[in-house]
């Protein structure tokens, strides 16, 4: 199991905790942000591969912001892959 705590930039959530096993996402937990949306995104990601999640989420914007909570999950996963 690999775990990462990521501090997102430019969004309402304050922290994203991600747990993976191999290339499979086991859990995602947001601290802060829009509760319904972040819970929904977190549940949808469980069982997805890291690469698929990055492909699906990277570049999503929230309103006029240049990023979003889903995009920040993609950034966290990319960082996890680098390390």
- pLDDT reported for residue 63: 92
pLDDT of the residue at 83? 83
Residue 65 predicted with pLDDT over 90: yes
Q: Which domain holds residue 11?
A: 2-82
- Say how many domains are in the chain: 1
Helix residue ranges per DSSP H, the chain: 35-45, 50-57, 69-82
Q: What is the DSSP letter of 37?
A: H
Q: In which band, very low, low, confident or very high, does the pLDDT at 75 lie, cut at 50, 70 and 90?
A: very high
Distance between CA 29 and CA 31 in Å, rounded? Answer: 7
List, edge to edge, every strand of the sheet that includes 2-6: 2-6, 13-21, 24-32
Q: What is the CATH number of the domain that holds 13?
A: 3.90.1010
Summarised one tens digit per residue, pLDDT across range 3-47 is: 999 999 999 999 999 999 999 999 999 999 999 999 999 999 999
**β-strand pairing of 2-6 with 13-21:** antiparallel
């Amino acid at each position: 199991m690999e775990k990462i705590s990521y501090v997102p930039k430019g969004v309402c959530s304050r922290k994203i905790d991600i747990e993976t096993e191999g290339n499979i996402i086991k859990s995602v937990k947001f601290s802060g942000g829009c509760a319904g949306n972040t819970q929904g995104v977190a549940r949808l990601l469980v069982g997805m591969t890291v690469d698929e999640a990055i492909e699906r989420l990277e570049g999503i914007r929230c309103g006029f912001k240049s990023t979003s909570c889903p995009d920040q999950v993609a950034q966290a996963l990319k960082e996890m892959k680098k390390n």
